[in-house]
Amino acid sequence: MNQDSASSALKDWRRWPWTLWGRQALAVMGLELKKSLRGRRHWSVLLLAAAPVSLFALRAAVELPGEAVQALGGLAVVYAVVFRTFMLRLVVFFGCVAVFANLFRGELQEKTLHYYFLAPIRREVLGIGKYLAGLVSAGFILGSATAASFLLHYLPAGSSQLADFLFDGPGLGHLLAYVAVTFLGCLGYGSVFLLMGLVFRNPIIPTIVVLGWESINFLLPPALKKISVIYYLESLCPVAVPQRGITILADPAPLWLAVPGLLLLTAVVLFLAGLRLRRLEVSYSTE
């Protein structure tokens, strides 16, 4: 291919619609991030994220290094239980509700959504841009809370043991895995609550339904377990948790299936959100 042909191909590539849509989505994302920094949209998420950090910081402050501290293996299991039951099922879940359910609902309440609809941009692209902004915000806030709580959890064992655990043991891998699972939780739950914010005028009841479904996941048969976000997230956790009580066991999803499964779920839900956006009409009088 000569230089003229390569230049012509590059120009044609730049004229493809998806390149324009990508730039528009990134522009919307940047605008939404600036709005979130100037406003108070994410205060509730910050309070949620501060809860586990405060609890672990209090524990680290009152428990002296080396005093009544379990072995690092025991601490790993304890954090795995706390992460699954508290971080994923409460902090990440409700943090995503606060961020993503209000991406369009908040604009309707503030009576500013029509400005976006008047812009020369496809509504699906608008939805993707807003979703990316919410993902960056929620992922950064909740991921930082996960990392801070993880480090504070091991701090009473002593700084030298913590350093050995992180850099000479599996600690750093565990930390990165938990932060990645938190981000994937924002990815999956975020798409679900974005769609709910578009479909339902009051997303409280559907949120309770989703919370109930995710909470009884351990009781569902293996086939139904896979129709949930928590199943894939728990499969990616680096430390296994002993099963107690009444539980219907199912093999965790392998890495090659868990991550694509979450991505596929997110893509399908965002596609449905785009269809909803096409039919959405702004009527502030009914809000």
pLDDT digits (tens, 9 = 90+) for 249-284: 566 778 888 899 899 989 999 999 988 988 887 766
Q: What is the spatial distance between Cα 21 and Cα 5, in angstroms, rounded to a whole number?
A: 25
pLDDT at 285: 58
Low-confidence ranges of the chain (pLDDT < 50): 1-2, 5-6, 9-10, 12-13, 67-69, 246
Please report the pLDDT score of residue 96 as a whole number: 93
pLDDT of 17: 64
According to the model, what pLDDT value does residue 269 have?
92
Contacts of 157 (CB under 8 A, 6+ apart): 65, 66, 69, 72, 75, 165
Per-residue confidence (pLDDT) for residue 119, from 0 to 100: 82
pLDDT tens, residue by residue, 58-77: 887 776 555 444 566 678 88
